[in-house]
């Protein structure tokens, strides 16, 4: 999670795959505007969907 650390106008949430693929970690991330809502609200909105996406990719890759 990133609270305006990289860019002042962006909150970011990231989720890695359960384990590396071909010795490489794959990390999915999502950046959203920091202007309209506080970080905690954005985190509650974005994190569950991003985690679901990553878990689905893991299932497709046979990791879970």
Q: Tell me the per-residue pLDDT of 16-29, one tens digit each, with 9 for 90 and over.
A: 999 999 999 999 99
Do 13 and 40 form a contact (C-beta atoms < 8 A)? no
Count of domains for the chain: 1
pLDDT of residue 11: 86
For residues 43 and 16, the model is more confident at: 16
Do 64 and 52 form a contact (C-beta atoms < 8 A)? no
pLDDT of 3 strictly over 70: no
Highest averaged pLDDT of the listed ranges 2-11, 25-34, 53-62: 53-62
Quote the mean pLDDT of the chain.
Answer: 88
Whole-angstrom Cα distance, residue 55 to residue 64?
A: 8
pLDDT of residue 9: 84
Q: Which long-range contacts (CB under 8 A, 24 or more apart) does 45-53 make?
A: 46/13, 47/13, 47/15, 50/13, 50/14, 50/15, 51/15, 53/15, 53/28
User: Which residues span the domain enclosing 40?
Assistant: 2-60
């Amino acid at each position: 999670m990133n609270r305006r650390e990289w860019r002042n106008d962006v909150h970011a949430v990231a989720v890695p795959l359960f384990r590396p693929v071909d010795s490489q970690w794959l990390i999915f991330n999502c950046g959203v505007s920091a202007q309209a809502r506080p970080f905690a609200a954005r985190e509650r909105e974005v994190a569950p969907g991003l985690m679901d996406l990553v878990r689905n990719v893991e299932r497709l890759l046979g990791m879970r």
